[in-house]
Amino acid sequence: MADSTFLQLEEASDFSFQNLPFGVFSTANKPIPRIGIAIGNWIMDLSELDCFSGPEMAKQSNVFREGELNAFMGLGRNAWHETRQTVQRVLSSAEGYLRDNGHLQKRTLINQDDAIMHVPARIGDFTDFSASKRHAENDRIMFTDKSQRILPNWDYMPVAYHSRASSVVVSGTDIHRPNGQYANEDGSVDSGPVFGPTKKLDFEMEIGALIGTGNALSQPISVDSADSHVFGFVLLNDWSARDLQSWEWNPLGPFLSKSFATTISPWVVTAAALEPFLCDPICLQDPQPLPYLRSKSIKTYDINLTTSLQTEGQTEVHYSSSVISQSNYKVMYWTLAQQIAHHTSNGCNLLPGDLIGSGTVSGPTHYSSGSLSELSERGTKPITLVDGQRRAFLHDGDEVIIRGSFNICNQNLMEEKDKLHLILLLGWCEDKSVRIGFGECRGRVLHHRQHSPPPFP
């Protein structure tokens, strides 16, 4: 099979021939959502292809006509692998099936600008973990005003909370500032809380994993087999209202401060595409995890992550100029395999389409913090944006854009923003190396919605 495609792709495209992420899209002339694959600026409509003739997919290609990835993901790794091989063959420069058929190209290749993207899967459950020790330590400061010491259980198990699946939205969806209860400005418990729009709206830069094949009830997934249950990955912004969170988080953890919205990117980058970017985690796990969390080979992924903040009315600037945070997924203390093993250790059953949030990806430096509350030190030290405006928390009209990519050029986490400019503008594809990206996870903050007055005084 050729290692290149007959399509003309931009060298810096996130959606290279080696990537081929899956997504769900529709178009104005065909509004029915269906499954496609991104390559360059194109979407290949899998529902229009009749080339799936292998033993796994010959009788299963109807799954590509569905408006969600769940059925396809539930077929398992052999079906995923065969589909990827078929798509690579069809798109390769050595294969004439699509290359030499202009009529088929018009039916199957859609410009991404002409497509409407949808949430790629029906998400039955959404679990969000805390896996960055730096973020966990910062959380203790933000919500307790005490020392950085995290709770003893954090070092022994991947902690998480069960979030809201119904409010997971696709990139580009506007987010209304949520209302809720929070403590009075004087911080006095005796004076009681107030109800109103959050004053401390924040983002959280995360990676999300979509479960492919699940497990039967009461049958745990072992840490060494966990990766085989993962179909792929998306970028994730777990929007957070920090004043609501501070008031409500004891004794049962986040509720309304998180459940109002979570944004994910539309394209699911498969685990198969990411295999070349497996790496050792940066963090040493000490103390040693309990036996059920010990793996024969602890691995994670080298994923570069950046967050950009653009203000309302801001003159169009290059993405790199508005970047306020850069981190890397490999800084996480707990791996995805350990998170899945722990999640199912009590017999909990995962299902195709379940979403696993990595937790905020905060690294060892201030600039690698994965949330605005960390960057601004709980709002006490607002950051200065490229247009001179200052932010302690998000304002109405602000747009948060998270991007993620891989490249064989391995970059270190850096503190100074000038160095980040060098990475973003000069560090990619200099040697025409493989690039795999996620696209964008984008969301804009809108004014809060007014609550209707009560019917009686």
Question: Helix, strand, or coil here: 204?
Answer: strand
Cβ atoms 41, 13 nearer than 8 A:
yes
Average pLDDT of span 37-56 = 97
Cβ atoms 241, 201 nearer than 8 A:
yes
**What residues have CB less than 8 Å from 298, skipping those under 6 apart?**
280, 281, 285, 335, 337
Of the ranges 223-227, 277-281, 385-389, the best mean pLDDT one: 223-227
CA 256 to chain centre: 21
Q: What pLDDT is stored for residue 457 in this prediction? A: 54
Q: What is the dihedral of CA 310, 312, 316, 318, to 10 degrees?
A: 0
The alpha helices in 298-446, defined as continuous H runs, are 336-343, 372-375, 417-426
Residues 293-333: tens digit of each pLDDT: 999 888 999 999 999 999 987 766 666 678 999 999 999 99
The type of residue at 62 is: N
Question: Helix, strand, or coil here: 334?
Answer: coil
Residue 321 main-chain phi, psi, to 5 deg: -70, -25
In order of 65, 121, 298, the CA distances from 71 in angstroms are 10, 9, 30
**Element (DSSP H or E) covering residue 252:** none
Question: pLDDT category, 424, cuts 50, 70, 90?
Answer: very low
Question: pLDDT category, 417, cuts 50, 70, 90?
Answer: very low
Average pLDDT of span 123-130 = 97
Q: What pLDDT is stored for residue 203 in this prediction? A: 97
Percent of the chain with pLDDT over 90: 77
DSSP string, 151-187: PGGGGTS-EEEEE-STTEEETT--EEPPEEEEE-TT-
Residues 337-348: tens digit of each pLDDT: 999 999 999 999
Q: What pLDDT is stored for residue 438 in this prediction? A: 96
Residues 67-116: tens digit of each pLDDT: 999 999 999 999 999 999 999 999 999 999 999 999 999 999 999 999 99
Question: pLDDT category, 433, cuts 50, 70, 90?
Answer: low
Residues known to be catalytic: 135
Q: What pLDDT is stored for residue 52 in this prediction? A: 96
Residues 162-213: tens digit of each pLDDT: 999 999 999 999 999 999 999 987 656 677 899 999 999 999 999 999 999 9
Average pLDDT of span 12-33 = 96
Does pLDDT of 407 surpass 70?
no
Q: What is the mean pLDDT of the chain?
A: 89
In order of 174, 192, 196, 430, 457, the CA distances from 450 in angstroms are 16, 22, 9, 51, 18
